[in-house]
Structure 1
Amino acid sequence: MDLRQLRTFRSVAELGSLSKASDRLRVAQPALSRHIKLLEHELRVELFTRNGRGMILTSAGQMLLDRTSGVVRQIEQVRDDLQSIKGTPSGNVVLGLVPTVSCVLSAGFARRIVERFPDISLRIVESYGGHLVEWLHRGEMDLAIIYGPSTDLHLSVQTLGRDDLVAVGPHGCGLAQRKQVDIGWLAAQKLVLPSNSHGLRVLIEKAAARKSLSLNVSVEADSFRVLTSFVEEGLGFTVLPQSAVRTEVAQGRLEIADIVKPTLSRELILAAPADRPPSIATASISSLIRKEIQSLADDGLWNIRLAAQTERSVARGKRSQAK
């Protein structure tokens, strides 16, 4: 196996097509096909099932992808770092974002990357925290902004701040006039919330349990965009970060109120693989993330309580991994 063959294999596996892989790698299809055939011949297994819809990984192909994708990315990053030493940061960076962060951060941040680091190719992946953590461990992702707690993740983590949660209701529900509600008021309402496995749901359930209250959940959905659509339809109230519904509130489609007694908030962390140093490009993206969040907070676009000392948060995260 050589690096060219493994890069070809990974691209075809991710895209499911030789033609799409050819466009990404800028290599003619016959050459890519030859790489795949040589790899299959060397390994003595079929890596793909070929049909009219494209190329689908076999079980052997899936195993090879799982075992090698992180290694290939590390080799590519070494090459990018060597090229970056004499000039501006360059290379590919994969950044994972949970949906409620992506809706606030993605567009403006991507534009800033293009302006500041034109030689960095940024790929933003939106998914739930559990998936992002798994991809970080497998080496398929360089950075991810997820919700804590940061203990027991076995990742290098930096605390970015705490994101306060608010009660969210439909237009005309009266939340805007109330301005504040407590957990008792929430427990008395019909709620639309994520499923029990979701970190946000766990947080709300624990807050209710401490007051010996039970929640009246009428509908569950693990997509915050689906949750907000349910709220707009009048199916119930929900709980989300204020930043995630800022646009809908400004448009008069939703109303919000602070949650007090107790205040509900979530730790926001920047996570990276703990078993390898970040590339120069990744470190540049990491630094810019903190500046972008600071800027959003200063402009009132993100109601986040920023961490006072990020470096101390990093040390805490590393100590937690050692336990």
Structure 2
Amino acid sequence: MATPAVDCRAAALDIIMRTGEPCRREAAINLRQLRYFVRIAEVGNITKAAEELNVAQPALGLQIRQLEQELQTGLLVRHSRGVVLTEAGKLLLERARRLLQDVDDIRRDVLALSDVDQEVLSLGLTPSIMLQIGPDMLLDAKNMIPTVSLSLVEELSYGLVLSLERGEVNYAFAYGVDQARPGVERRPILEEELLFIRPATDAVIPETTTLAEALTHELVQAGERDMVQQLLRTAAEKFSLSPRILYEAQSIPAMRTLVVRGAAASFMPYGTAVEELRTGKLVMQRITDVPLRRTLYLIKPTNAPAFKQQDAIDSFLESVVQRLLESLGALARRVGT
């Protein structure tokens, strides 16, 4: 008797949880696609999800389209206000959440067995901090906390807070964390001065400028949810000025490239453009009359359980702060205790 035909469109989702379906091929689904899909489903908007994930919107959309192609079914219905899940999308969301949690549990449990005292420290960093001291942190961790596996997660500050609340990171260094955020314990670390970044030219550019003069330039900035743009608009409003934001980009490399090419200037933290500043491709100016400053916090979940190697981890986190202060120099000052 012939084997009944199997509807691959309906069965494709089951490949995530089990194998052996007599379909033509297995779906090449990866964990990144599932994480992206879950975040889009949670916020209901691809643009917002791209901002929180620090991923360019076209790249995020491509990942979802590839996921839909592999599963041979639509997962999202796009409309002017965002997206809604199809029935297949609802099923995928439920199972993807379980699968991602299982993967995290597997990783933690396997690492715990690989060494008697092995622990996993997931630490969130903003892109500017990662660019400044990320590699150094990994080297320091190998020496200072050899029995702890360090995993660095790079996101914008508001994305790091969300990752902390979802239990995806143990600690994070994030800027401008709301004091009233429930379930999040914060400790102020340092106050950092933002810079006006311009393309290098043959002309001599002064080391300082005023906010009004800087705002005469066309700008490229991150989205409206980004802290730098919020600080800039707040400062400009005090003088009845308006930033001329010609480009908005969620990709930091894209922002830097536009400035290097001379298409725009930008208000940025030092770390965002550190390599281009060191090599002379970009020039920085400090704002003298209305300095733009932001506060860095070390955050963790309220009532988080202590690590077995907590003292060593605390020492390592303090070394991160010291490295960052050394990197920023006169652009930062320590706050808190």
Could you say whether these structures have the same fold, taking a TM-score greater than 0.5 normalized by the shorter chain as the test?
yes
Q: Structure 1 residues 71, 114: CA separation in 2 closer, same or farther (over 3 Å shift)?
A: closer
* Unmatched runs of 5 consecutive residues or more in structure 1: 1-17, 19-32, 41-45, 85-89, 310-323
Q: CA deviation at 1:205?
A: 0.5
Corresponding residue to 1:105 among 97, 117, 133: 133
Corresponding residue to 1:117 among 145, 149, 153: 145
Provide the C-alpha distance between the structure 2 equivalents of 1:111 and 1:302, rounded to a whole number of angstroms: 25
Report what 1:307 is aligned to. Answer: 335
Provide the C-alpha distance between the structure 2 equivalents of 1:300 and 1:235, rounded to a whole number of angstroms: 27
Report what 1:261 is aligned to. Answer: 289
1:59 aligns with 2:87: no
Provide the C-alpha distance between the structure 2 equivalents of 1:221 and 1:54, rounded to a whole number of angstroms: 28
Q: What SS class does the counterpart of residue 286 from structure 2 fall into?
A: strand
Q: Which amino acid aligns with 2:162?
A: E
RMSD: 3.3
Report what 2:192 is aligned to. Answer: 163
Paired positions, count:
257
Provide the C-alpha distance between the structure 1 equivalents of 2:174 and 2:320, rounded to a whole number of angstroms: 16
Provide the C-alpha distance between the structure 2 equivalents of 1:61 and 1:250, rounded to a whole number of angstroms: 47
Provide the C-alpha distance between the structure 2 equivalents of 1:282 and 1:71, rounded to a whole number of angstroms: 21
Question: What are the within-5 Å matches in structure 2 for residues 134-283 of structure 1?
Answer: 134-154=162-182, 155-172=184-201, 177-281=205-309
Alignment deviations for residues 128-162 of structure 1 (CA, whole Å, 9 cap, x no partner): 22222112111121111111144133311111101
* Unmatched runs of 5 consecutive residues or more in structure 2: 1-14, 35-91
Provide the C-alpha distance between the structure 2 equivalents of 1:70 and 1:150, rounded to a whole number of angstroms: 31
Question: What are the within-5 Å matches in structure 2 for residues 311-322 of structure 1?
Answer: none
Q: What SS class does the counterpart of residue 177 from structure 1 fall into?
A: coil
Q: What SS class does the counterpart of residue 123 from structure 2 fall into?
A: strand
Report what 1:10 is aligned to. Answer: none
Q: CA deviation at 1:291?
A: 2.0
Q: Which runs of 4+ in 1 moved over 4 A?
A: 54-57, 68-73, 299-302
Provide the C-alpha distance between the structure 1 equivalents of 2:157 and 2:252, rounded to a whole number of angstroms: 13
Provide the C-alpha distance between the structure 1 equivalents of 2:233 and 2:324, rounded to a whole number of angstroms: 30
Alignment TM-score, normalising by the size of structure 2: 0.67
Alignment TM-score, normalising by the size of structure 1: 0.69
Which segment is superposed worse, 188-197 or 298-307? Answer: 298-307
Provide the C-alpha distance between the structure 1 equivalents of 2:168 and 2:271, rounded to a whole number of angstroms: 28
Q: CA deviation at 1:256?
A: 0.6
